[in-house]
């Protein structure tokens, strides 16, 4: 099962795949068919297809924010 992960502005900022459907999925996970919705806005149960507008509207995380996020995930999985 593919899920788009929405940020606080309802933009799909990443996509994650699970082998099975999630039973208690987070509220910002939206089940999707393919990755074509990446960087699109999800509003009222529909995806905005105006790609140019949606991509420009997303603030990209800095390198430090990305590294911090990766370190956090690694610590969680490694039990540190």
Q: What is the pTM of this model?
A: 0.62
**Domain limits, the chain:** 2-78
Q: What are the tens digits of pLDDT across the range 14-52?
A: 999 999 999 999 999 999 999 999 988 999 999 986 655
Residue 57 CA to residue 50 CA, distance in Å, equals 11
């Amino acid at each position: 099962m593919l899920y788009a992960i929405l940020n606080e502005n309802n933009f799909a900022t990443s996509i994650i795949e699970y082998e099975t459907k999630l039973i208690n999925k987070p509220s910002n996970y939206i089940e999707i068919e393919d990755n074509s919705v990446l960087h699109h806005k999800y509003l009222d149960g529909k995806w905005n297809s105006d790609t140019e507008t949606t991509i420009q509207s997303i603030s990209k995380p800095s390198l430090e924010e990305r590294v911090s996020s990766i370190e956090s995930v690694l610590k969680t999985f490694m039990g540190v």
